Amino acid sequence: MPADKHTYLQIHPADNVLVALTNLAAGTPIVFNGQTFNLLTPVEVKHKFTITALEPEAPIHMYGVLVGKASQYIARGTALTVDNIKHASDDFKLGKRKTEWTVPAVTESYRDKTFMGFHRADGSVGTANYWLVIPLVFCENRNINVLKEALSAKLGFAKPRGYESEVDSLVEMYQSGKTAAEILNADLQLSPEGQSPKKLFENIDGIKFLNHDMGCGGTRTDSDALCGLLAGYITHPNVAGATVLSLGCQHAQATILQTEIQKRDPNFSKPLVMLEQQKIGTESKLLHEALKQTFTGLMEANKQQRQPAPLSKLCIGLECGGSDGFSGISANPTLGYLSDILVGLGGSVVLAEFPELCGVEQELSDRCVDETEAMKFMDLMRTYNARAEAGGSGFYANPSPGNIRDGLITDAIKSAGAAKKGGTSPVTDVLDYPEKITKPGLNLLCTPGSDVESTTAEVASGANVVLFTTGLGTPTGNPVAPVIKVATNTAVFNRMPDIMDINCGTIIEGEETIEQSATRMLDYVIEVASGRKQPKAVILGQDDFIPWKRGVSL
């Protein structure tokens, strides 16, 4: 009897494993390519099982590429685990250009659509309008926090406070003599959300404070990269202006930051406040000056208003985190199809997380528009992996315990699915961290696989919206770019509705095609980019910001 189409799946015709779309018991009959066999072991949902017997060192293919090798004999119908397979991926070299691709037909229906954005002097368009307050070195973090306490609530940018009433209940129980057991068993009622205070500056979405732990004590390469990253945020289309606090003696000098700003925007004209504590003197003088200049800067920034902009002005960051065995089947291909639509419209997308491109280097390098970009991509991949191996963890160590638990048991399996976010269009540019995106089309950006570091970098490079797929659930956001959280499966979408925006589990369940899911998602992106809808990460104030440390402390 044929198996239900929602029971298991072969992703690519060249694959010698199938993916379980539901929990499968040992003994379940599998009908595939005209043959029937029974599962010898249980296979959990999202995990894989063999369709032929595999001898030790036999290759394992998924998505049409090598993703591992058998570490022992594996009988047909056996679940793949960390005990019977090991990471393996094909080598790569400079090949022929393969830049032919087909623009999705649905692209034409979006040709005349627009979003409401903030037009900047350099020609970019923001999906939001923020003011930044940034320390050049960690020594200024306390002063940044003082400014946050002083400005956020008074100007109407503070998020409604929560959980204070729950703490009041705990205090009351303690004072009334309740035991620890009684307190632990108590049902704390979630306090209703308070009203957001009215904003003084209606056209400003918020003030964002980007604390970090860098700027001095590490390598000069890292402090220079930090200045490039911060310059990327200051010149970002979602940013109206910035206040920068410098101590004065640190590696990350204000002059380096200014040079990086000029590299990204030679005609930079946004309001920019630069204050150095060691020159000004007392903390109170520094903070009074920061408050006055920031306030007048906000007055200027508030003059900006949303205006129509073509979808070609969108630059979308493609990110995944807390990935599972469905990521490469549902949510990531949806992002890939959306990417192809946007590229067809003249927009930009950026695919990062280089450790999660391991095993698909040949395909991506062949898709580069010229050999120079192909060589740059391959060199970055080899150099990055070599540095990781020198530190004791090559790309093979990328999958997290959560990834492995949910079916991504080698880095190449994870990578082959992660790369689907980039769609099928040619690679127009390859960027090293923290370079700026300057070309439309698919850009590759060298970043870690770490969610927050990668998202932080994509936004610094110019992404004005981020699409973030997750199968396990992660609350990651960004201070200036809206991060739209995309669930790979319906279970996590229903279990964590407070952080999820879009469900792609409909694809697994056969209710929706990848194409339908992608157009539904693009419609939502347009609403978010226009300020008409806010994703959960924005509502929650999930302002994650972590610069990438590539060097070591000195």
Condensed to tens digits (0 to 9), the pLDDT of residues 34-80 reads: 999 999 999 999 999 999 999 999 999 999 999 999 999 999 999 99
Q: Which two tokens stand for residue 470?
A: 């997750």
pLDDT tier at 199 (50, 70, 90 boundaries)?
A: very high
Q: Please, are residues 32 and 376 in contact by the beta-carbon 8 Å criterion?
A: no
- Tell me which residue of 458, 184, 436, 485 sits closest to 323, measured CA to CA: 485
pLDDT at 553: 53
**Dihedral class, residue 421 (left if φ above 0, else alpha if ψ from -120 to 50, else beta):** alpha
Buried b (16+ CB within 10 A) or exposed e, 425-460: bbbbbbbbbbbbbeebbbbbbbbbbbbbbbbbbbbb
- Mean pLDDT (whole number) for 193-214: 89
Q: What is the helix, strand, coil percentage profile of the chain, to 5?
A: 35, 20, 45
CA distance 126 to 138: 28
Query: Each residue of 59-68: pLDDT tens digit?
Result: 999 999 999 9
Q: Which two tokens stand for residue 204?
A: 């400003």
Query: Each residue of 221-242: pLDDT tens digit?
Result: 999 999 999 999 999 999 999 9
- Mean pLDDT (whole number) for 413-422: 95
Query: Each residue of 421-479: pLDDT tens digit?
Result: 999 999 999 999 999 999 999 999 999 999 999 999 999 999 999 999 999 999 999 99
pLDDT at 192: 66
pTM: 0.94
Three-state DSSP at 119 gives strand
